[in-house]
């Protein structure tokens, strides 16, 4: 069996993450001073107690920044170090350097805020919107004529939907190491999904041209979007520390600081209205999404359109009007997290369908099946569905779960049991692939064939466990006609491939493997030209000959996803290269007495097209589903009314463990996807949405206890919410 | 505080002066330079820092457990043996690693060494080698990438391939070496725990009880969470280094038999003890409700009590079991205290200057026992509330005696005295369960926090009291009536 060499290192314990690298002599360690509340002003910092601890201690503040004190990309509203005012609990006020990590942390704890004045904090997105605290302008996508369509409906249902935030819990916390360079610049090792993004911001903060900032990313111990923009600040702080001190500086957050001070998935509060014919055909849908964006813009302007693009789920709805508003609150700036606004959109349409099913007296699955996308259907943003696989995957998934028998078995079981109730739900998924910001759909690769026939490949892709390196190696090996053992994937460095995009939006392989393949095709063409006159040479001999004959054995190539266009004025265009489809059926058993539940089975049929590595792809599907299930039915990102994060450690923030997860039965729909590398489809994000079925499976079981009680759409499901539904009254 | 300790790390013996308060994780990574052991949370909740810890068990024979090195003090290693991922990997890929690889169970890889340690520890010490037990062994490990499907498949392969392992370390370790799960030289050393640098009792006594830097520690599984980076001048005194502290014995008189538990008895020891299992038949099934295997291997009953958390699971059980505490070393010499009298306020106890727990006494008359716990996650989570109930029955089936506890509804763990009074002398019934449920609903003064609202806690206490009745008297079939 072929093994991923990266994974071999992992299981041997040899993989070096950022904090595993040997430390340089003289290296300083950094810790941060965080704001103590959600909103406040301060006049300065009292550093005397910290400085008195040791001569190595140094406190770096906003005034020490040689360039711009600004991390923002879309909007300039996110200082690296707060100056005068903080806008969320956990905002960085100062950087503390010391000779050891322990000392730095203890010194940071002794830095006192001076002249603190608490200011009012807004944590609720609707309240922020009502006060006019919004980022940029609301966006609306529409198709057909919703107002007229609602008049023609047999039933119109409206409701409110809440979905909570989600902490990434990448197992390796955020970190960076910076070395001052004799050029006057810095060299950085950064735990980022976006080395070029780090390079740009560090250059801005230090007031340097980008060519004096070199950023390398070796690998990440998980990221999930949490190290897309949110890794930049830590790298910038390390770089600032290195420039200020003239020494190498390492920053590596402990879990609590990481949880308090880094962005997470956006909580949303939404309203919907859905109109249907008696037979379950959806005629009209509208939704208002209030995105809790947090205190700074971060990636929110890219995330809100993805919510809108996915607001109609896997369905064709002829009349749609959906509006998204980015609400500025005094919480941590929320950020990218696998799915990138998509899951919040899906949960609203699935909630609307659940509510509509109740109003019509039919099963949600009947509405789902009736309205799935067909070939040629136009999405509400103007793109036409080509080769949609929604019906195929859902029907296969229902067959896999033996849906009709399952429903009958559940009815029988529930009739026979008072203390336990079972439930089941299906969630079909259709997810668009491409960065929503069109310019980001580009990438480069640099391939070297060394004159012994071994190959080194550099791209903009960052390996974070998703197996992108392995997939690129397989594509390269195939393109060059060599064994994959000859291919080494290099670390991601801004000096080898420049101006790269973050490894995100599920596009890592689509873009970077394609760029690598184009480079390999060039090299192959050069070798093939030689081989014509010298048949019978193997690859190594051919390479030696090429070197001898002064043929360039290196190639750089560039790939920009073709055919994308979007008109912001009309909100119409083709924002996606293609869509990924699939469906999950999840079953759950509810303990009626205690309000607890367990998930029993998950049946998944996923549109993989062609799998470059089935072991990796299966892991992506299962892992994304687990994160989705955690978001839907376990992980509670609890904030206090004062805006402080309450679930700030792994003892208070619970994510899926092995026991939580159901049996998973994953099947691939294999039909090539022309126009992509190896006819594959991206796999990172789409399966996350399957977790939503878990919410509705528990809700289905709850309904078996109280069929007439109105359902609630307040994700995550928790045992507390379940027990409240099971026993409404306030006294015994 | 620095102390000379002698221990083995993988195949190498160390005898060095080392800060006894230092978490083993830091020493392994920074001093020994073995970075395969990872820091994921530094509070025993993720398992990325798992190592195998060898020493001598209650019976004096070699014993191996997977433990979290972030909550393990270096001072505890005197006379012990640590195995890290590097120790397992010194001969290349092992079957555990190969199973993980072939199933794709390592994605980002940060958690992988911890899972491999846990699964290897399972093969070394597991009682039953089957897929369910294999997965139970990784209940202290978090993975954010895989969704655990591939890990489950790898665990099943191991359970299948190693189902025939012989019992007993003396036979099993050589077999595991033969099958390349362990390097042969390491497997041999794992049967020979090193001698401690000093006699453990002497080292234990050497720390002066009036020294302000003294900290009495049980397993450290909670203390290190609150003190992740302890000051080097702290002098931890580890309870399992007190002579005879890790023992469970039958004692008392013929009329009032008791179980005597030493201060170093771990959660594992407690649930494994035949004496405890005889006292409260079926109690062992509640072991999985608390913490995780690596924590249960280290956490002590005494520590769980002295920590005085209002939602301590073991304390809740011990309250229902009628436990008393034996305290020693204080101005009044030895004291005997009802456990329920020990808690004075939130995290405040009646422990006096210089005092420490010497042991726990549990009345040894058999009873029906049930424990209920509500938490966000079924495994490895801190309780929102917990409650235990223990009853003895009169010949006519009436309730002869009852003790019931409630955790998470007040600043201290409670005995539910009003509920007990209402139950005693009555016949169990749904009506009585409802009455008891009402009293449980009102038994405390819960507050709302990250684990649940005050109202939820009250409702849980009512429902879990019903659950006690359903489980304590399964023959009555009360569930349908109570849920009607």
In the structure, what pLDDT confidence band is assigned to residue A1 with cuts at 50, 70 and 90? Answer: very low
Predicted pLDDT of residue B338: 97
Query: What local confidence, expressed as pLDDT, does residue A2 receive?
Result: 75
Predicted confidence (pLDDT) per residue in A396-437, tens digit: 999 999 999 999 999 999 999 999 999 999 999 999 999 999
Residues A456-495: pLDDT tens digits? 999 999 999 999 999 999 999 999 999 999 999 999 999 9
> What pLDDT score does B92 carry?
97
One of A685, A720, A728, A729 is an active-site residue; which one? Answer: A685
Predicted local confidence at residue B212, as pLDDT? 73
- Residue A585, SS3 per DSSP: strand
Residue A685 annotated in active site: yes
pLDDT tens column, B427-447: 999 999 999 999 999 999 999
For the segment B247-302, what is each residue's pLDDT rounded down to a tens digit?
A: 999 999 999 999 999 999 999 999 999 999 999 999 999 999 999 999 999 999 99
Min Cα–Cα distance to chain B from A221, Å: 5
Provide the pLDDT confidence category of residue B484 given band limits of 50, 70 and 90.
confident
Nearest to A8 among B101, B111, B151 (CB): B101
A696-723 pLDDT, tens digit per residue, is: 999 999 999 999 999 999 999 999 999 9
pLDDT band of A239, cuts 50, 70, 90: very high
> B239 falls in which pLDDT band (50, 70, 90)?
confident
Partner-chain contact A622 B379, CB within 8 Å:
no
The residue of chain B with its CA nearest to that of A462 is B108
Q: Has residue A37 got a pLDDT over 60?
A: yes
The tokens for A45 are 């910092």
What domains, with CATH codes, occur in chain A?
27-119+174-252 (3.90.1170.50), 268-435+572-726 (3.30.365.10), 442-560 (3.30.365.10)
> Is B201's pLDDT higher than 80?
no
- Across the range A328-333, mean pLDDT stands at 98
pLDDT at A59: 98
Question: A-chain residues within 8 Å CB-CB of B48?
Answer: 171
If pLDDT is split at 50, 70 and 90, which confidence band does B243 have? Answer: confident
Flag whether pLDDT at B206 surpasses 70. no
pLDDT digits 0-9 by tens, A618-629: 999 999 999 999
**Digit-coded pLDDT (tens) for A544-589:** 999 999 999 999 999 999 999 999 999 999 999 999 999 999 999 9
Residue B48's closest chain A neighbor by CA?
Answer: A171
Test the B interface: residue of A8, A169, A171, A604 with most B CBs within 10 Å: A171
Give yes or no for residue B208 having a pLDDT over 70: no
B35 pLDDT exceeds 70? yes
Asked whether the beta carbons of residue A220 and residue B108 sit closer than 8 angstroms, the reply is yes
Tell me which chain B residues have a C-beta less than 8 angstroms from the C-beta of A626.
146-148
Average pLDDT of span A317-328? 98
pLDDT at residue number B202:
59
Evaluate if residue A499 carries a pLDDT over 80. yes
Whether B43 sits inside 8 A of A649 (CB atoms) is: yes
Q: Take residue B473 and report the two structure tokens written for it.
A: 């008297």
Average pLDDT, chain A: 97
Instruction: Mark yes or no for CB contact A623/B453 under 8 Å.
Output: no
B75 touches chain A (CB under 8 A): no
Contacts of B108 in chain A (CB under 8 A): 10, 170-172, 219-222, 464-465
Statement: residue B238 has pLDDT above 90: no
Cβ–Cβ of A171/B144 closer than 8 Å? yes
Q: pLDDT for A86-111, tens place per residue?
A: 999 999 999 999 999 999 999 999 99
The stretch B53-79 carries a mean pLDDT of: 95
Looking at residue B209, what is its pLDDT?
Answer: 64
Question: What are the E-state strand segments in A256-305?
Answer: 268-276, 282-294
Average of per-residue pLDDT across B200-224:
77
Residue B334, min C-alpha distance to chain A (Å) = 36
Distance from CA of A644 to the nearest CA of B (A): 11
Mean pLDDT of chain B: 95
DSSP, res A64: G
- pLDDT of A579 reads 98
- Mean pLDDT calculated for residue range B449-476: 97
Please give the ipTM for the structure prediction.
0.97
Alpha-carbon gap: B315 to the closest alpha carbon of chain A (Å): 19
Q: Does A732 score more than 90 pLDDT?
A: no
Which CATH fold would you assign to the domain B244-363?
Answer: 3.30.465
Q: How far is A31 from chain B (nearest CA, A)?
A: 14
Superfamily of domain B2-189: Beta-grasp domain (3.10.20.30)
pLDDT at B353 over 90: no
Nearest CA in chain A to B372: A594
Structural domain boundaries of chain B?
Answer: 2-189, 244-363
Of B103, B144, B467, the CB nearest to A222: B144
Chain B residues 300-359 with a CB less than 8 Å from chain A: none
Report chain A residues whose CB lies below 8 A from the CB of B479.
Answer: 418-419, 593
Question: What is the 3 state secondary structure string of chain B?
Answer: CEEEEEEEECCEEEEEEEECCCEHHHHHHHHCCCCCCCCCCCCCCCCCCEEEEEEECCCCCEEEEEEEHHHCEHHHHCCEEEECHHHHHCCCCCHHHHHHHHCCCCCCCCCHHHHHHHHHHHHHHCCCCCHHHHHHCCCCCCCCCCCCHHHHHHHHHHHHHCCCCCCCHHHHHHHHHHCCCCCHHHHHHCCCCCCCCCCHHHHHHHCCCCCCCEEEECCCCCHHHHCCCCCCCCEEEEHHHCCCCCCEEEEECCCCEEEEEECCCEHHHHHHCHHHHHHCCCHHHHHHHCCCHHHHCCCEHHHHHHCCCCCCHHHHHHHHCCCEEEEEEECCEEEEEEHHHHEEECCEECCCCCCEEEEEEEECCCCEEEEEEECCCCCCCCCCEEEEEEEEECCCCCEEEEEEEEECCCCCCEECHHHHHHHCCCCCCHHHHHHHHHHHHCCCCCCCECCECHHHHHHHHHHHHHHHHHHHCHHHCCHHHHHC
Are the beta carbons of B101 and A7 separated by less than 8 Å? yes
Q: With CB atoms and an 8 Å threshold, state whether B144 touches A649.
A: no
pLDDT tens across A593-614, in order? 999 999 999 999 999 999 999 9
Token representation of residue B439: 């009293």
Q: Is the pLDDT of residue B198 over 90?
A: no
The whole-angstrom distance between A262's CA and the closest CA on chain B is 15
Interface check B456 vs A, CB under 8 A: yes
């Amino acid at each position: 069996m072929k093994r991923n060499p990266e994974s071999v290192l992992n299981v041997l314990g040899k993989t070096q993450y950022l904090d595993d690298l040997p430390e340089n002599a003289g290296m300083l360690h950094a810790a941060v001073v965080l704001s103590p509340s959600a909103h406040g002003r301060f006049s300065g910092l009292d550093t005397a107690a910290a400085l008195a601890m040791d001569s190595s201690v140094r406190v770096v503040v906003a005034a020490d920044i040689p360039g711009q004190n600004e991390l923002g990309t879309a909007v300039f509203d996110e200082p690296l170090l707060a100056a005068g005012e903080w806008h969320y609990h956990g905002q960085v006020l100062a950087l503390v350097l010391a000779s050891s990590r322990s000392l730095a942390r203890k010194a940071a704890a002794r830095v006192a805020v001076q002249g603190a004045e608490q200011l009012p904090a807004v944590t609720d997105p609707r309240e922020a919107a009502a006060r006019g605290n919004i980022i940029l302008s609301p966006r609306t996508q529409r198709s057909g004529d919703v107002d007229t369509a609602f008049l023609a409906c047999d039933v119109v249902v409206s409701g409110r939907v809440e979905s909570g935030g989600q902490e990434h819990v990448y197992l390796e916390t955020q970190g960076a190491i910076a070395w001052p360079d004799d050029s006057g610049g810095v060299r950085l090792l950064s735990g980022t999904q976006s080395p070029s993004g780090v390079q740009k911001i560090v250059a801005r903060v230090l007031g340097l041209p980008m060519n004096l900032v070199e950023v390398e990313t070796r690998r990440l111990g998980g990221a999930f979007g949490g190290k897309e923009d949110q890794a930049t600040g830590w790298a910038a702080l390390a770089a600032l520390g290195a420039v200020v001190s003239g020494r190498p500086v390492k920053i590596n957050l402990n879990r609590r600081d990481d949880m308090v001070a880094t962005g997470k998935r956006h909580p949303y509060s939404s309203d919907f209205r859905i109109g249907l014919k008696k037979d379950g055909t959806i005629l009209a849908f509208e939704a208002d999404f209030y995105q809790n964006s947090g205190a700074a813009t971060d990636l929110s302007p890219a995330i809100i359109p993805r919510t809108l693009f996915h607001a109609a789920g896997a369905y064709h709805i002829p009349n749609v009007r959906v509006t998204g508003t980015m609400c500025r609150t005094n919480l941590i700036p929320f950020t990218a997290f696998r799915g990138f606004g998509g899951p919040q959109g899906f949960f609203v349409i699935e909630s609307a369908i659940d509510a509509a099913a109740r109003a019509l007296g039919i099963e949600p699955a009947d509405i789902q099946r009736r309205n799935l996308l067909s070939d040629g259907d136009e999405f509400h943003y103007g793109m036409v569905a080509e080769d949609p696989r929604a019906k195929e995957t859902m029907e296969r998934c229902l067959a896999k779960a033996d849906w009709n028998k399952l429903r009958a078995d559940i009815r029988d079981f529930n009739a026979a049991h008072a203390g336990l109730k079972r439930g089941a739900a299906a969630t079909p998924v259709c997810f668009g692939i491409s960065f929503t910001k069109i310019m980001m759909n580009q990438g480069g690769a640099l391939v070297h064939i060394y004159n012994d026939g071994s190959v080194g490949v550099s791209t903009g892709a960052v390996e974070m466990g998703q197996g992108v390196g392995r997939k690129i190696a397989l594509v390269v090996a195939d393109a060059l006609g060599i064994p994959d053992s000859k291919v080494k994937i290099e670390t991601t460095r801004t000096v080898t491939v420049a101006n790269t995009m973050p490894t995100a939006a599920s596009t890592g392989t689509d873009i970077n493997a394609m760029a690598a393949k184009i480079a390999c095709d060039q090299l192959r063409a050069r070798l093939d030209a030689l081989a014509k006159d010298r048949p019978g040479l193997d690859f190594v001999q051919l390479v030696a000959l090429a070197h001898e004959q002064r043929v360039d054995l290196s190639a750089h190539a560039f790939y920009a996803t073709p055919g994308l266009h979007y008109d912001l004025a009309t909100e119409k265009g083709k924002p996606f290269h293609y869509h990924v489809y699939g469906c999950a059926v999840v079953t759950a058993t509810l303990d009626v007495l205690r309000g607890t539940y367990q998930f029993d089975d998950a049946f998944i049929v996923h549109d993989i097209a062609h799998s470059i590595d089935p072991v990796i792809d299966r892991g992506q599907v299962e892992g994304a589903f687990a994160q989705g299930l955690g978001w839907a039915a376990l992980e509670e990102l609890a904030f206090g009314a004062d805006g402080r994060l309450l679930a700030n450690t792994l003892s208070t923030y619970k994510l899926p463990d092995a026991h939580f997860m159901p049996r998973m039965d994953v099947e691939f729909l294999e039909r090539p996807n022309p126009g992509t590398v190896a006819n594959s489809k991206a796999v990172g994000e789409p399966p996350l949405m399957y977790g939503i079925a878990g919410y509705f499976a528990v809700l289905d079981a709850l309904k078996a206890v109280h069929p007439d009680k109105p359902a609630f759409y307040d994700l995550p499901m928790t045992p507390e919410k379940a027990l409240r539904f099971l026993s409404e009254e306030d006294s015994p | 505080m620095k102390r000379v300790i002698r221990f083995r790390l993988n195949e190498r013996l160390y005898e060095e002066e080392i800060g006894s308060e230092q978490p083993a994780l830091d020493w392994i990574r920074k001093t020994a330079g073995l970075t395969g052991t990872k820091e994921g949370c530094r509070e025993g909740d993720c398992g990325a820092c798992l190592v195998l810890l060898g020493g001598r068990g209650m019976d004096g024979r070699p014993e191996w457990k997977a433990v979290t090195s972030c909550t393990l003090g270096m001072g505890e290693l005197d006379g012990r043996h640590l195995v890290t991922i590097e120790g397992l990997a010194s001969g290349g890929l092992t079957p555990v690693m190969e199973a993980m690889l072939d199933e794709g169970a390592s994605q980002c890889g940060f958690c992988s060494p911890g899972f491999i340690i846990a699964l290897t520890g399972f093969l070394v010490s597991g009682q039953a080698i089957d897929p369910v037990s294999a997965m139970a062994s990784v209940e202290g490990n978090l993975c954010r990438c895989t969704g655990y499907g591939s890990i489950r498949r790898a665990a099943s392969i191991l359970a299948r391939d190693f189902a025939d392992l012989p019992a007993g370390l003396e036979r099993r370790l050589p077999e595991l070496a033969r099958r390349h799960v362990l390097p042969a030289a390491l497997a041999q050393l794992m049967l020979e725990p090193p001698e401690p640098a000093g006699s453990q009792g002497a080292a234990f006594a050497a720390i002066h009880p009036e020294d302000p830097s003294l900290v009495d520690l049980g397993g450290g599984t909670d203390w290190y969470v609150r003190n992740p980076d302890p000051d080097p001048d702290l002098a931890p005194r580890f309870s399992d280094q007190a002579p005879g502290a890790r023992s469970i014995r039958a004692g008392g008189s013929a009329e009032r038999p008791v179980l005597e538990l030493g201060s170093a008895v771990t959660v594992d020891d407690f649930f494994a003890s035949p004496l405890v299992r005889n006292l409260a038949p079926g109690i062992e099934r509640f072991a999985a409700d608390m913490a995780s295997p690596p924590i249960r291997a280290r956490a002590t009953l005494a520590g769980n009590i002295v920590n005085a958390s209002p939602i301590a699971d073991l304390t809740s059980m011990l309250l229902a079991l009628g436990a008393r505490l034996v305290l020693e070393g204080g101005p009044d010499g030895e004291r005997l205290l009802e456990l329920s009298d020990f808690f004075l306020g939130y995290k405040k106890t009646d422990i006096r200057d210089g005092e420490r727990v010497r042991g726990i006494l549990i009345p040894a008359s058999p009873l029906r026992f049930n424990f209920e716990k509500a938490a966000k996650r079924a495994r490895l989570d801190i309780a929102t509330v917990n409650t235990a109930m223990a009853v003895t029955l009169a010949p006519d089936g009436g309730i002869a005696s009852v003790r019931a506890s409630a955790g998470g509804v007040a600043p201290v763990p409670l005995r539910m005295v009003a509920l007990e009074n209402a139950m005693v002398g009555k016949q169990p019934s749904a009506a009585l369960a409802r009455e008891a449920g009402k009293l449980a609903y009102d038994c405390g003064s819960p507050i709302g926090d990250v684990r649940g609202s005050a109202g939820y806690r009250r409702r849980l206490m009512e429902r879990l009291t019903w659950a006690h009745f359903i489980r304590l008297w399964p023959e009555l079939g009360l569930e349908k009536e109570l849920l009607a």
